[in-house]
Structure 1
Amino acid sequence: MQTLGERIRTLRKQQKMTLEALAGTELTKGMLSLIENNKAKPSMESLQYIANQLNVEVSELLEEVSGHELREVLEKAEILFNTNYDVLSDEYEQLIHLVEPYLPKLGQGYESARLLEMYSRCKHQAHKKDWEEPLNQAAEIYEKLNITARRAKIGIVRTAVKFQEHKYQEALNILQEERADLEKKGIWMDPVSRLDFDYVETALYYAIGDHESALKLMDQAIEYSKENKTFYHLDDLYRIAAAHAMMSRDEEKIEYYLKKIEAYGVFADDIDAERFSFFVKTHYLNSYKKQYEEADKLFKTYNLEKDKLFTHYFLLERGKTFYGLKQFEEAIEQLEQVVIQDVINHPIDLSIFYEKDAYLALCYTAIGQTEKAKAFAQKALDLIKEMPDTPYKTFIQETYKQIVTD
């Protein structure tokens, strides 16, 4: 962090001022040089004069962190925080180390609140202690500044903490409490923030198995998004709708929502929309229709680009296709590569991935490795135990019964 002299020199150079220009008629060039090099301390009168010359408040010169310096730190922090998941490595740790020295000097402005928010979230993601207080500080500053969107986001973050712990009912309770609190304080709510809450609440209703409430809120959110022409979270809501249609075996709605997702992908140039659409098609053929030959044909038409998240969905489906084609060794090879990424926390997604062990159990049964088959069947059953009722849970339970108890 900069000293007083360094802050004066930085501001002078940013404004392309010479020592002579800043010294003006009240200071000598030599004295100003001493001040900038921290070899002399200016009087309050001299400090006021320098601030006037630089067109800043004296408080900015006296602060241990200038507004400009804080904005530079914020810019670096935003880049680290928003690193794409596919290339994410130690960026969260870097952000923590970047922000930590500034914590005692942060003020009550937006930059300070945003740094506190990102610092807190990174500490939580890195499984470090004492992450909550900075988040609460950020929330207080956002409220004072009436920055509604960022204050609302804090509510989503608090919800996400419980969601990542797989405490879905607690997460829903926190979200609803946050929503009520924001409405009571009059902070509620710009369209983007409302759609944030609607989307997360919809996902949480599905997480606890309340499909009726989920569908009702999802339909409301889609209409609200269209009415306000924000189209925010519209693709996410369509994905939830497609997943529900798939579990309900409603092929007409599956096709309808996939067309919506694909159209959005073209509009937004979003490759994930294409990946999701391909996954749903192969997943429905494998898990619901048992049309493995059709799934195999589909795989051969699609270029499976490497992707940190979707690759594992594709490996899972490829393994299931090979199982259905009775190519058991190939199926085992694909399935054993599947890893559940740490961002996968929704019980429906987890249940889909837990099928992996059930399919491995079936493959090992087919090739005569009974003990391995029983171990994988037991593992799948243990994992699915706390998940809500879905076709995936039923499949795992039936597979266990077939392999272990029959």
Structure 2
Amino acid sequence: MTLGKRIRQLRKERKMTLVDLAGDKITKGMLSLIENDKSTPSMETLAHIAKELDVSIGYLTREGDEDWTKQMLAESDFSHYFSFPFEHIEKNILPQLDRVSQSNKGMELYNIIRIYYRYRGEHGTADEYTEKIGKFYRSIGIEHLVVRNRLNDAVSLMYSQDYSEAYSRLVETEAEVMEFKDYDSQLELDYYYLKAVFSVSVDMKEFIPLGDRVVALSYETENFKRFFSANMILGYYYGLEGDMEKHKEYQGNLRKYLDFNRQEKYELELIDTTTPITVFYVLVEDRQRHVTLYEAYIENIEVHHEAGTIQSSNMTFYHPLFMIELSYFREDYRTVVENYKENMYIRSAAQHPIDRIIMATRSCIYPLSLYQLGEKQEAREAFGRIEDTIEDIKHSPFTKEFYMIRDIIFEETQSE
């Protein structure tokens, strides 16, 4: 959008006439020429127009096309768990990068492009976009968003599963996070949460104190955005470790939280609201209870989805997973084998290491079903393919159930 068109759009949005905006500083005719891009205003004139429109000069003169930028952001679901819009980016965005607006929306689009290059392993180019975003926020004097950009840069490395590098970059921001946390109450909370998540694959000794810091900080700041996830992960860890007292502590935190903070996303994430922290996803003690839970959960989601009370394109992908898992818990192994597809549990969106392990564990219903059907060699080969997907994090304490499943499938070979 040109300077003139931007001035006209802002004037009309504010229901101002040419005379209103021109005031006693410039003539109506001169303003008309500016709006039609037939005259270039002086800095003094720009300052007057910006003041009357209640925006900065930088906002008026920013480069790029704001409408096009918003359209590019709206045309695709960039938060989709199971797919990433490579084609949309390559066909519609990358060939027209000069149209990216130098605004907050433009920085959102730059972040998407950064993620695109992380996916492709082109980290040098991704880092260039980190610099572009930081430079923009620095130029308009919003330093806490410069720091926020560095946290988002670390998050972008999850798309290429470079957890160690993400952790290192986070640590480098700590002093700045503490310096600017008063300008952004979410900054410190996000920092500790992300550091806890990345520590799972870098330094497990830090994981527990960092997770507990997130929980404590949530109470201190009365900001509970990370509270659910932090308690879920901590409770999951202690459940796997067999420390059921600690497990119950975090379970209790979540029950209290859910009593007053039920959100749409929990309709999608929680199968059992009475015991929200799952410890074993496949090797459950009471299969019949699990069948009942799954049936009720699937019915509930379908009702909400049909009624439009839950809007989630991710349901297209989640629904087959829950249906195939329900077949497994019903001991309908043939249905599992016939409907399972390679990679159906692999999400392309940013996944932290624990999430990847959980998805790999859940996908083990396939080799377990093969094993139950007597196709033991095929089961072992299938397990091996799944194990390859978590090769970089296979020594994590969160893989306990995963390797319990392996022991079942390979039991005969181990006894030979």
User: TM-score per shorter chain, which class?
Assistant: 0.7 to 0.9
TM-superposed deviation, 1:28 = 7.9
Q: Choose from 84, 97, 100 the match for 1:100.
A: 97
User: Which letter maps to 1:174?
Assistant: R
Partner of 1:235: 228
TM-superposed deviation, 1:260 = 3.4
- Greater CA drift, 313-322 or 334-343: 313-322
TM-superposed deviation, 1:241 = 1.9
Partner of 1:391: 400
User: Which letter maps to 2:257?
Assistant: Y
User: Which letter maps to 2:386?
Assistant: A
Q: 1:334 to 1:260 in 2, by over 3 A?
A: farther
- Greater CA drift, 310-319 or 146-155: 310-319
Q: Choose from 117, 126, 129 the match for 2:116.
A: 126
Partner of 2:296: 301
Distance in 1 between residues matched to 2:41 and 2:314, nearest whole Å: 59
| 1:361-386 residue CA offsets vs partner (Å, 9 max, x unmatched) | 23223323345334313313433433
TM-superposed deviation, 1:288 = 4.9
TM-superposed deviation, 1:122 = 0.9
Contact kept, 8 Å, 1:364 with 1:372, in 2: the verdict is: yes
Partner of 1:202: 196
User: Which letter maps to 2:97?
Assistant: E
- Greater CA drift, 89-98 or 242-251: 89-98
Q: 1:250 to 1:28 in 2, by over 3 A?
A: closer
TM-superposed deviation, 1:391 = 0.7
Contact kept, 8 Å, 1:124 with 1:131, in 2: the verdict is: yes
TM-score scaled by length of structure 1 = 0.74
Q: Percent identity?
A: 19
Consecutive unaligned residues of structure 1, counting only runs of 5 or more, are none
Distance in 1 between residues matched to 2:353 and 2:72, nearest whole Å: 32
Distance in 2 between residues matched to 1:385 and 1:201, nearest whole Å: 21
Distance in 2 between residues matched to 1:308 and 1:282, nearest whole Å: 25
Describe how 1:92-241 pairs up with structure 2 within 5 A: 93=89, 96=93, 100-102=97-99, 106=102, 111=103, 114-127=104-117, 130-143=125-138, 145=140, 147-180=142-175, 182-183=177-178, 186-188=179-181, 190-208=184-202, 210=204, 212-241=205-234
Contact kept, 8 Å, 1:246 with 1:284, in 2: the verdict is: yes
Distance in 2 between residues matched to 1:77 and 1:376, nearest whole Å: 40
The number of residue pairs the alignment matches comes to 390
Q: Determine if the alignment matches structure 1 residue 360 to structure 2 residue 356.
A: no
Consecutive unaligned residues of structure 2, counting only runs of 5 or more, are 303-311
CA RMSD of aligned residues (A): 4.5
- Greater CA drift, 323-332 or 222-231: 323-332
What secondary structure does 1:294 align onto? helix
What secondary structure does 2:296 align onto? coil
TM-superposed deviation, 1:201 = 0.9
TM-superposed deviation, 1:298 = 1.9
Distance in 1 between residues matched to 2:26 and 2:289, nearest whole Å: 83
Contact kept, 8 Å, 1:340 with 1:353, in 2: the verdict is: yes
Distance in 2 between residues matched to 1:362 and 1:53, nearest whole Å: 69
Q: Kindly indicate whether structure 1 or structure 2 has the higher relative contact order, using CA contacts under 8 Å at least 6 residues apart.
A: 2
Q: 1:291 to 1:65 in 2, by over 3 A?
A: same
Partner of 2:241: 248
| 1:308-342 residue CA offsets vs partner (Å, 9 max, x unmatched) | 55786776566556445532113335644843221
What secondary structure does 2:301 align onto? coil
User: Which letter maps to 1:142?
Assistant: Y
